[in-house]
Structure 1
Amino acid sequence: MSKAGRTAGLIGAAVGVLAAGAAAGVAFERQVIGRRSGQRKQLEAEPFGSLRGTPYIFTADDGVELYVEVDELKRSRRQPPPRRLGRRTPPPLEDLTVIFAHGYGLNLDAWHFERRDLAGIGTMVFYDQRSHGRSGRSARENISIDQLGKDLYGILERFAPTGPVILIGHSMGGMTIMALAEQHPELFGDRVIGVGLCSTSAGGLDRVPIVFPGKVGMLARALATPTVAALARIPDVVERSRKAGTDLSYLLTRKYSFGSEVPPAFTEFVNEMIAATPIEVIAEFYPIFALHDKYEALEPLQKVECVVIGGDKDHLTPFDHAEEIVRRVPGAELVEVKNCGHLGLIEHHREFTAALLGMIERAEQSLGGAG
């Protein structure tokens, strides 16, 4: 491979991680590269990607086929709910549906821990966003946050046609929920009784520096879109590097996704999801985040139980973006997780799941009180 090809491949690996949700800075610690030692045994037993539900294919309004998995609530309400997080979850509403929307560059398996620890809370619906995971590729002209909102509306109508619904989104998935609120505000406080927003933003991402702080980071942001677009024109070169499992790729994933030391298995899991997202998809979606502005769409969230969770070391959707959402949604709970990067739903999954469970409990209680 030529020197230019190797360089493009490495840049492609970096861009793929950046896009999927990164913090800032890459430190080449030798102890991290030493993941192949006994340190790997820490979480070898965690079955990432093995939690599977009943599969479905849902056709979006523009014909794109979305891959969906449903974990049905099969347990009788008379049986005690599973013990999770050191306490018992409340008896589930018979017809409660919880829908999860994942972030950019990932897939539905990103919810591994939440899926495991919230099992039994209700029927749970997971889906791969268009062009991600097992879902079909979208036409370029239909790649937008608004279209993702339309996709979510279709998923809700198809898989939760009746009964109360709770929506949970990470990063781009949180933006998807905001788009739905803008398009169908009548759902909130009626069908939708609770919302969980994880590591996300309602706008202003074009003013967030990437890789480096200050003016240098803003220059990097300005160069990112044309760089990603250029890399998308040589996908074979880029994909060979991204899927090679190199030490550089591993380090980039770890440093750009987490805010603390995490078990190697966490990084490997995220690295695999990112590498499975084609560079063309990364390039097609990246520009939509600079255009994202859903501040005015937040008003319907005041009608439901809402929790906004963020990490203090998230440099892609900084915590002050979570604070701004809560400022515009009076009554929403704000949860700051310390030493936490953009992928807190994996890095600090116990804290994220506990906050989501609290929101679900309050939503169910408020519904019971209303009845």
Structure 2
Amino acid sequence: MAKVGRTAGLIGAAVGVLAAGAAAGVAVERQLIGRRSGQRAQLEAEPFGSLRGTPHVFTADDGVELYVEVDELKRSRRPEPEKKRGLRRKVVNPPEDLTVIFLHGYGLNMDCWHFERRDLAGIGTMVFYDQRSHGRSGRSPKENVSIEQLGRDLYGILEKFAPTGPVILVGHSMGGMSIMALAELHPELFGDRVIGVGLCSTSAGGLDQVPIALPGRIGMMVRTLATPTVSALARIPDVVERSRKAGTDISYLLTRKYSFGSEVPPAYTEFVNEMIAATPISVIAEFYPIFALHDKYGALEPLQKVECVVIAGDKDHLTPFEHSEEIVRHVPGAELVEVPNCGHLGLIEHHREFTAALLGMIERAELALGQT
């Protein structure tokens, strides 16, 4: 049993990070990565997970309860964001009823928007929620695990928490796919209620052709084996979860490799590890196959009616930059932002560049709204 546990732990960690863009462990052993005990003290402390809003529970159309937090706009917070963040607002009289909805990616939770939540405070009412089966949200029935259902969830969230006024949608990875699903289901919202969209490190399709771990044919063989491997691990959840909680060097290294494209503080990697470790292996197994089926190029046309920015890193191994370029080809007029030395979790790794690009899109959307 001990050998099975070790094997399951390593495979579980590897598949988890390759599928979700992060690793499956929480604790990180120090020897292999050469960290000294005093290294953490030299880093600027960042209170990940400390930003909290007013909690709500929203019941989706199939009965799944989604956990939501709302950062209400306060007039005292409406002036320019702090200059030390390097952000400047250009819109003098932005709409007071603007709502910005943030959608996280696969295997993560709303806390992945930590930096954007901090630095965009005051831009409008901000809504964050954990996607079904993730974070604090309820578990989805297996038959309702689909990108289309995520789009229906977003529609419900929008109707409940932004019943009036202009709306901005911002999605990372699976969150961006959820926005595309909404555009397919309710194209009439775009250019009317929805005035701006930010797509971060995402894809509109073709992910089944992206090699995993290694380039070329070997990487495609790994991708072919990933789904049955994850499914097999999901059948022994107790063994896998014990191994994941134990933590391994390999989980840390995989997280760093597949989440980031440059050297980042160890706290960033550990933060991602903690989010992924909170996602059961059975959830990873249920969601992973839907990405190979994802094809929403035909749903991108409504995004031409709004301000749109597509942001991605040049070292993203999970949703390669070419996928962002392809989205922009289908959305003429959208801004394409390539962030150098950036992996899949650019919203954490290079959060200043991501936040600046999102702020620019929001300002353009507000300006266009004021001219109508």
Aligned AA (1:82): P
Find 2:190's aligned residue among 170, 188, 191: 188
Deviates more, 1:275-284 or 1:4-13: 4-13
Find 2:304's aligned residue among 302, 305, 313: 302
Residue 10 of structure 1 corresponds to 10
Aligned AA (1:141): E
Residue 266 of structure 2 corresponds to 264
**In structure 2, the residue corresponding to 1:88 is in which secondary structure?**
coil
**In structure 1, the residue corresponding to 2:35 is in which secondary structure?**
helix
Segments of 5+ residues of structure 1 without an aligned counterpart are 24-29
Is contact 2:87–2:356 with CA below 8 Å preserved after alignment? no
Residue 69 of structure 2 corresponds to 69
Aligned AA (1:181): A
Alpha-carbon offset, residue 63 of structure 1:
0.1
Is contact 1:335–1:355 with CA below 8 Å preserved after alignment? yes
Residue 26 of structure 2 corresponds to none
Residue 359 of structure 2 corresponds to 357
Is contact 1:92–1:120 with CA below 8 Å preserved after alignment? no
Change (3 A) 1:319 1:22: farther
Is contact 2:73–2:125 with CA below 8 Å preserved after alignment? yes
Matches of residues 1-371 of structure 1 in structure 2 within 5 Å?
A: 1-21=1-21, 33-43=33-43, 45-76=45-76, 80-84=79-83, 85-89=85-89, 90=91, 91-370=93-372
Q: TM-score, normalized by length of structure 1?
A: 0.95
Is contact 2:22–2:276 with CA below 8 Å preserved after alignment? no
Is contact 2:22–2:272 with CA below 8 Å preserved after alignment? no
Is contact 2:314–2:338 with CA below 8 Å preserved after alignment? yes
Change (3 A) 1:22 1:246: closer
Distance 1:108 1:213 in 2: 31
**In structure 2, the residue corresponding to 1:68 is in which secondary structure?**
strand
Alpha-carbon offset, residue 42 of structure 1:
4.2
Alpha-carbon offset, residue 32 of structure 1:
6.6
Deviates more, 1:248-257 or 1:346-355: 248-257
Alpha-carbon offset, residue 95 of structure 1:
0.2
Structure 1 segments (4+ residues) deviating >6 Å? none
Is contact 1:16–1:275 with CA below 8 Å preserved after alignment? no
Identical amino acids, percent of aligned pairs: 86
Distance 2:87 2:10 in 1: 46
**In structure 2, the residue corresponding to 1:38 is in which secondary structure?**
coil
Alpha-carbon offset, residue 33 of structure 1:
1.9
Is contact 2:103–2:131 with CA below 8 Å preserved after alignment? yes
**In structure 1, the residue corresponding to 2:311 is in which secondary structure?**
strand
Residue 27 of structure 1 corresponds to none
Residue 27 of structure 2 corresponds to none
Instruction: Please list the CA deviations of residues 143-193 of structure 1 after superposition, one character each: whole Å capped at 9, or x if unmatched.
Output: 000000000000000000000000000000000000000000000000000
Aligned AA (1:221): R
Aligned AA (1:106): L
Deviates more, 1:357-366 or 1:233-242: 233-242
Total equivalences in the alignment: 364
Distance 1:102 1:312 in 2: 20
Q: TM-score, normalized by length of structure 2?
A: 0.95
Aligned AA (1:68): V
Segments of 5+ residues of structure 2 without an aligned counterpart are 24-29
Distance 1:351 1:31 in 2: 33
